[in-house]
Amino acid sequence: MRLVFALPGNEAFAARLAQEAGAELGELETRQFPDGEHYVRLRTDPAGRQVDGCAALCAPTA
C-alpha cells in the first residue's frame, strides 16, 4: 500500500490525498533546532513501499 507523509502545515492536504488514493497516512516527528535546521523522523516504516511527501516549498514551517 502506498504511504503519504505530511510535513508541518500540509496535514489536511496529505490526509485528503491518502484518502482519495486509498493510501496510508504515515506518521512522522519533526522539530526545529536553534540554528534553524529541521529534524524529521519517520514513525511509519516506508521499506518496500511507494512514498509521497506533501510539503509546501514556498514558506516552510517548523
**Total structural domains in the chain?**
1
Give dist(CA 51, CA 58) in Å, integer.
21
Give dist(CA 61, CA 10) in Å, integer.
10
Which pTM was predicted? Answer: 0.83
In a domain, residue 16? The reply is yes
Query: How do residues 3-60 score in pLDDT, each as one tens digit?
Result: 999 998 899 999 999 999 999 999 999 999 999 998 999 999 999 999 999 998 776 5
Instruction: Print the domain residue range for 48.
Output: 3-54
In a domain, residue 46? The reply is yes
Count the alpha carbons within 13 Å of 9 in the hemisphere toward its beta carbon.
Answer: 8
Neighbours of 21 (CB within 10 A): 13
